[in-house]
Structure 1
Amino acid sequence: MKTSFIAKLVDKKAFEPGLYVKFLHQKRALIFDLPDLKELSNREILKITDVFVTHTHMDHFMGFDQLLRLFLGKQLYLRIYGPKGIIENVDGKLRGYTWNLVQNYEGELNIEVTEIQGDTCEIVKFNSRERFKPVSALTRTLKGNEIIKEPGFKIYFITLDHQIPCLAFMLEEEFKIQILRDKLSEYGLEPGPWLTRLKQEIFRGSDENDILQIKFRKKSKVYEIEKPISELKMNLTKITEGARLVYITDIIGSEENFKTILESFSPAHIAFIEAGFLKQDEEQAKKTYHLTAEEAGRLAGLLKAKYLKVFHYSFRYKGREQELEKEALDSFYRSF
C-alpha cells in the first residue's frame, strides 16, 4: 500500500522500541518513543518535529538526551506528547543540566510538552532563552482521542494497561494524493516543487477559485504560469483512501486492552506491535505486562491489518528473533 510516509523501526534488530516516520517530499519526521537513537543519523533526528511517548520507562525515554543535544543551538520547535507525568519527566531531564550559557546560543530552541489527561491535556513550554524554565501555556479539551490534526494526517491515542497507563498511537492519512505524471506533459507542465505545494493546498481544502503559482524548468528555460487549484486537482491528481498505521507496545494481552484497541483503531492497514515473548513463555509476558508474539499476530488480524511488523523482543531471545517473527506471522495469517 503506497503511503505519503516511510516508517521504520529505530532498532533494526527489533529489540528496542521506537518507530521513525518520515514524510515523503518533506523535511519532516515523527518519532514514536525515544529509545537509544544511535541507529538514526543526525540528519534524520534533526527532521523530527513531533515526539509521541507511550510511557517513560527508561528504554522508551532515554533518547531524549540525544535528541536535545542535537537540537541545542538551532532554531527549532519540538512538540512532545505523552501520558500523565510527561511534563514533570521532561522538566526533570532539563533540570538535570546547567544552563548558564544556553541563552547566548545563536538558535532558540522551543519545546512544547502536551500531557494527555483523559479528555483534556495540559500544555507547558520550555524555551532555551529562558534557560528552559517551564511556562504553563494552556489546558484544552480534546476532540475524542484526536491529539493532532494537520493538513494530510491526524494522530490519535488510546490509554492501555502496562500496570501503569501506557499510550498507543495511530497515524491516519486524511487521504492520498497521487500525481498523474503522464498527464503533466499534456498540460505542458514539468515536475517540480510546485507539486508539493499543490498537494498541501488540496489537503488544506483550498477554495476552488484559488490560484497556484507554478514554476518549472524545461529544456534549460524557466517557466512561470498560474492555474486554478481546482483544475489541477481534477486533471492531474487521483484521490484515494489514506492509510492507518498503529504503534502498540508494552501492554498486557488482556481482554480489556484488546477491546480498547479494536474500538478505536480498527481497521488499521499497517501495524507495528510489540512481541516481547514466545507463547511458551506466556506467564513471563503476563508477569511483566507484555504481549507474546502469538498475541501480537492475533491482534493484528483482529485489526484487519495488511502488514505486520513486530518488535521490542526480550533480550532472552537474542539470536532467536526469527522464532518470534514466525510465531507472530503464523498467528496473523491464521486470522485471514
Structure 2
Amino acid sequence: MTRRLPFRYLEPTFCAGLLDDPLLLVNVRPLGRAILVDCGQMHHLAKRVLKSLDALFITHAHMDHFMGFDTLVRHIHVSPRTVALFGPPGIARKVAAKLAGYDWNLTESYWCTFRVHEVHPGHIASFTLPGSEGFPCHPDGERQRHGSEIWRNDFLTVEAELCDHHAIPALVFRITERPGFWIDGEKVAAAGLVAGEWLRELKQRFYRGGLDGREIAAPVRTAAGGEAWRVFEGRGLFEAIRRDQEPASIGYLTDIGASGENLATVRRLLGGVTLLACECSFLAADMAKARTSHHLCTTDVSALARELRPAYLLPMHISKSYNTRGDLIYEELALPPETRLIRLPEHLTPRPLLPAEFPRLWRG
C-alpha cells in the first residue's frame, strides 16, 4: 500500500496485505534511508530496500513479526555498517540465538554490526553483535528512559511503550516527524519584520541546531516607513514567527489484548496520531476468539478510533480465518467522521509456486 499522506519528511508504506505478516516501511525522504516496523515474511522486499534500513522496531518475537530478520541478515551481513534493532525485554537473546544457528567461519573485518536495544519500563539495555567476530552478543550497558522516546534522527523520533500480549511484552510505537521550519507570514508582518535573506540564515541554523543562544540580525520597519536592523536571539526570533502546526505522526499497534491497562497505555501514547496502523484481527461476532487469543476485534478498533481520533486508520493483521472475506472487517468498522479509512488488498506477498510451474529438468 502506498498513499500520499500529509507528511513532510516521512513516506510510510505498508508492505503487506490484510492477511500477510505486517511490515511497515517508513522512508525518510531527505536521507534516502528507512526504518522498518516488524519483520515477518519479507522475501518480497528488494535487496536495495533492506540495505536502506537504519533501524528495526520489533513489537514482539512471534514468528509473523520476527522471522524475516533472517532475510535481512542474508542481504546485509557483509555490508560495513551498523543496524539498530529495538524490541521488548529478551529480544537480544532471541537475536543472538538466530545468528548462532549459522556458521560464521568466513567472517571479514568489515561485516556489519547489530546494536540491539531492549526496551524496559524504566531503562533501555543495549547489546552489540559484531559480524567481524561471528555475531557474539556483548552487553553494552544501560541508559535510563526519560519519557517514551527510544530513538531519533534529524527528521523523526520514535516512542514506545510496553503492553501485554498474554504474558509476554509487546511494544506499541509512535513515529513523529521532527518539527519543521514553518513560518507564519502574518506573524512576520505583525512583528514589523521585513522578509529577506535573514530567513534563509534562520532556516539553516534551525536545521543545524544553531538557534539557541546565538544572535541573528533582521530588518524591522520603522515608524517613518524605512527599515532598521535589529539583533535578535535566534531561538526567540523563531518562536515568535513560527507557524503553529502539529507534526505528523504514525501509530503502530498490534498483538495486544483489550485489557484496561493496555488500552490506557495506547491512549497515552497514540492520541491524535495522523496515521494509525492498527490490528483488527476479528469481527465483532468473534469477540470471544479475540479475547482468548489476546487480539482486537472491530468493536475494539472502532472504540479506539473514536478516542484517538486519527486522521487515517489502516486496519491490518486480520485472522487467516477470514481469507477471501476481508471486506467484512471494513463493513463493521464505525469510525469518527474525521477519520479516513485506508483499505488493503487481502494479499500483497507473492503466492508460492506450484510444482507444475517449475521448469522440468528431465522429460518423462
TM-score range normalised by the length of the shorter chain: 0.7 to 0.9
Provide the residue aligned with 2:107 in structure 1.
102
Question: Secondary structure at the residue paired with 1:102?
Answer: coil
| Counterparts of 1:3 and 1:297, CA distance in 2 | 28
Provide the residue aligned with 2:25 in structure 1.
20
Matched, 1:135 2:138: yes
- Change in Cα spacing, 1:335 to 1:23, as seen in structure 2 (3 Å) is closer
Shift of 1:254: 2.1
Matched, 1:292 2:297: yes
Residues 246-272 of structure 1: CA deviation (Å, up to 9, x unaligned) = 100001122221111112321222101
- Change in Cα spacing, 1:327 to 1:176, as seen in structure 2 (3 Å) is farther
Shift of 1:301: 2.3
- Change in Cα spacing, 1:334 to 1:2, as seen in structure 2 (3 Å) is closer
Shift of 1:179: 10
Matched, 1:167 2:140: no
**1:294 touches 1:331 (CA, 8 Å); kept in 2?**
no
Q: What residue identity is the alignment partner of 2:46?
A: S
| Counterparts of 2:133 and 2:205, CA distance in 1 | 36
Residues 225-251 of structure 1: CA deviation (Å, up to 9, x unaligned) = xxxxx7xx99xx977431121100001
Matched, 1:33 2:38: yes
Shift of 1:62: 0.3
Shift of 1:172: 1.4
Percent of aligned pairs with the same amino acid: 28
Equivalent residue in structure 2 for 1:206, among 210, 214, 230:
210
| Counterparts of 1:258 and 1:320, CA distance in 2 | 27
Provide the residue aligned with 1:117 in structure 2.
120
Equivalent residue in structure 1 for 2:277, among 272, 283, 304:
272
Question: Secondary structure at the residue paired with 1:256?
Answer: helix
| Counterparts of 1:147 and 1:324, CA distance in 2 | 33
| Counterparts of 1:72 and 1:175, CA distance in 2 | 34
**1:103 touches 1:131 (CA, 8 Å); kept in 2?**
no
Q: What residue identity is the alignment partner of 2:81?
A: L
| Counterparts of 1:72 and 1:87, CA distance in 2 | 17
**2:310 touches 2:339 (CA, 8 Å); kept in 1?**
no
Matched, 1:246 2:251: yes
Provide the residue aligned with 1:126 in structure 2.
129
Question: Secondary structure at the residue paired with 2:72?
Answer: helix
**2:274 touches 2:310 (CA, 8 Å); kept in 1?**
yes
| Counterparts of 2:311 and 2:209, CA distance in 1 | 29
**2:151 touches 2:157 (CA, 8 Å); kept in 1?**
yes
| Counterparts of 1:47 and 1:256, CA distance in 2 | 36
| Counterparts of 2:244 and 2:265, CA distance in 1 | 31
| Counterparts of 1:295 and 1:85, CA distance in 2 | 29
Q: What residue identity is the alignment partner of 1:249?
A: T
Query: Which structure exhibits the higher relative contact order, with contacts defined as CA atoms closer than 8 Å and separated by 6 or more residues?
Result: 2
Matched, 1:151 2:154: yes
- Change in Cα spacing, 1:279 to 1:61, as seen in structure 2 (3 Å) is same
| Counterparts of 1:171 and 1:284, CA distance in 2 | 30
- Change in Cα spacing, 1:274 to 1:302, as seen in structure 2 (3 Å) is same
Instruction: Please list, as runs of the form range in 1=range in 2, the aligned pairs for 1:65-84 lying within 5 A after superposition.
Output: 65-84=70-89
**1:277 touches 1:291 (CA, 8 Å); kept in 2?**
yes
Structure showing the higher strand proportion among its residues = 1
Q: TM-score, normalised by structure 1?
A: 0.81
| Counterparts of 1:239 and 1:263, CA distance in 2 | 22
Larger radius of gyration: 2
**1:15 touches 1:314 (CA, 8 Å); kept in 2?**
no
- Change in Cα spacing, 1:259 to 1:238, as seen in structure 2 (3 Å) is closer
Structure showing the higher helix proportion among its residues = 1
Which runs of 5 or more structure 2 residues have no equivalent in the other structure?
1-5, 185-194, 217-233, 341-364
Question: Secondary structure at the residue paired with 1:59?
Answer: helix
- Change in Cα spacing, 1:199 to 1:111, as seen in structure 2 (3 Å) is farther
Equivalent residue in structure 2 for 1:263, among 268, 276, 279:
268
Matched, 1:320 2:350: no
**1:84 touches 1:117 (CA, 8 Å); kept in 2?**
yes
| Counterparts of 1:136 and 1:54, CA distance in 2 | 21
**1:174 touches 1:241 (CA, 8 Å); kept in 2?**
no
Provide the residue aligned with 1:7 in structure 2.
12
CA RMSD of aligned residues (A): 3.2
- Change in Cα spacing, 1:320 to 1:199, as seen in structure 2 (3 Å) is farther
| Counterparts of 1:174 and 1:129, CA distance in 2 | 35
Provide the residue aligned with 1:223 in structure 2.
none
Question: Secondary structure at the residue paired with 1:241?
Answer: coil
